[in-house]
Structure 1
């Protein structure tokens, strides 16, 4: 079994004079939930379309379940479920009728697939209610049901919580977590709002203006956003010894520029400063630092616009 569900190499898409995707190398391991984040127009949907075969790259390659081209890549795409932009739903049909229509179009055997999918996405009780009368949350669940009809191993979802109220966001998150943990489905989910992803994703990719800026795990992200007291003194080695001896903690690090990051005493900074000054050290800088998850992503993508 291949360790990676998806890898791209130097994947590029150009439209006339515009570069929508610029030499992107992305890697998604099996069993993960990959949060793909960036502003609208950053290239998220473009990459998804190239991976699913809805568009063709200008250059670069897509590797899906180890397949890199030709008929092998076509077969590999059958192992995916996809919901990109506005999935086709038939407003005059019920949820069951919508799924049956898509089942026939996709050539998925067995009518039982419709019943199972309705139960999975929580729409089995909608009866004769037509899709045009569904709430936005129900429509999003139905769109997800269409993507799940073929029992995919890899799910690609473009902004699945877009427009949902807070309860709808929670319900969608719980459903996706269940699909990942209980059914082992790998998920690539895009968003331009981190708050929709940070309780769900196990890995992240940050994209901006077509360039992939960074890939990291949720643990690495938490580490980067860790809060600390930034300390700059005249004698950092002595300060480190004082912190360890007098404050009885090793939760600190001395950086290359000689400053100290103290991860303890965040609620008692005065104790730290008075101890250091009392030991004859001159404080040049002393301040709390660190970012929350939202500000970290905002700083990486270069601003707060999420239009």
Structure 2
């Protein structure tokens, strides 16, 4: 098995506080590796250490089979990155920004500029300065810049920030193409679990600087849980009615409007009847499958994965 990126007991201490603790990551060639965790969990710090922007306090990083050091410029040249918010020369156009990037990267095949802009749907921005771009357009341009030199490893920190649903789908399709057709390896972080679920081959969950779990999406899907999701204006009353009048013994109140019912053996018609007879407003009730979201929340609450 070929690993493009591995970390060994990777640790970072800032001002006496350990913000990344003994993290071991294993990213295989050609896969999409989804990095999940709350704000402040340590995802960006780890990505900065991988790209040599921040030095580890201890531990090692191995990229393309070589140990990353202060002088590993040849390894960094084989990577494309967006860490945090992409910065550009605002008075220049998208093409001019990419042209300058190719110059200082020593990449002289300028034909790739149009190809990259076309891939991220920015080919119609001729003459428009980047200062007039929306947040989503800037994010697309950042991805174009990251892929323009044909890297082998693409590291993207929250790449779909600021995009509308159409833009998110377009980039989702692009990431799949880069991985499956071009053989790129992608490490991407995101707070949008549903998107990671659709594209990732492997997910890693980090919290408080510690890697809680690294697992394939195939395994996560293997523990899918069916449930009914009820949306109502009075969850407290609905939960009581379902328990007392519909014999529901396994349910979870998600928030003030949503209840998940895991007793799927009980007919939906019986639950609906009990709710209506007891004057509970039903905004919707639908059957769903829990996968990555339930898995992620379980881990953050201290649970674990069992294959």
- The reply to whether TM is greater than 0.5 is yes
Query: Given the superposition, is the C-alpha separation of residues 266 and 202 from structure 1 closer, same or farther in structure 2, using an over 3 Å criterion?
Result: farther
Cα pair 1:64 1:73 within 8 Å, conserved:
no
Distance in structure 1 (CA, Å) of the matches to 2:206 and 2:137 = 29
Residues matched between the structures, number:
251
Distance in structure 2 (CA, Å) of the matches to 1:96 and 1:131 = 10
Match of 2:75 in 1: 76
Cα pair 1:10 1:25 within 8 Å, conserved:
yes
Please list every run of at least 4 consecutive aligned residues from structure 1 whose deviation after the TM superposition is greater than 6 angstroms: none
Distance in structure 2 (CA, Å) of the matches to 1:126 and 1:210 = 40
Deviation of residue 223 (structure 1)? 1.6
Cα pair 1:161 1:169 within 8 Å, conserved:
yes
Deviation of residue 70 (structure 1)? 3.9
SS in 2 for 1:199: helix
Residue 296 (structure 1) aligned with residue 259 (structure 2): no
Residue 125 (structure 1) aligned with residue 88 (structure 2): no
Match of 2:22 in 1: 23
Match of 2:284 in 1: none
Residue 32 (structure 1) aligned with residue 31 (structure 2): yes
- Aligned ranges for residues 62-73 of structure 1 at < 5 Å? 62-70=61-69, 73=72
Residue 102 (structure 1) aligned with residue 101 (structure 2): yes
Deviation of residue 31 (structure 1)? 0.9
Cα pair 2:223 2:291 within 8 Å, conserved:
no
User: Structure 2 stretches of 5 or more lacking a match?
Assistant: 228-263, 269-288, 303-307
- Aligned ranges for residues 90-169 of structure 1 at < 5 Å? 90-169=89-168
52-61 or 113-122, which moves further after superposition?
A: 113-122
Give the structure-1-normalised TM-score: 0.75
Distance in structure 1 (CA, Å) of the matches to 2:128 and 2:161 = 23
Query: Given the superposition, is the C-alpha separation of residues 297 and 71 from structure 1 closer, same or farther in structure 2, using an over 3 Å criterion?
Result: closer
SS in 2 for 1:22: strand
Bigger CA radius of gyration: 1
Deviation of residue 90 (structure 1)? 1.8
131-140 or 65-74, which moves further after superposition?
A: 65-74
Give the structure-2-normalised TM-score: 0.75
Deviation of residue 201 (structure 1)? 0.7
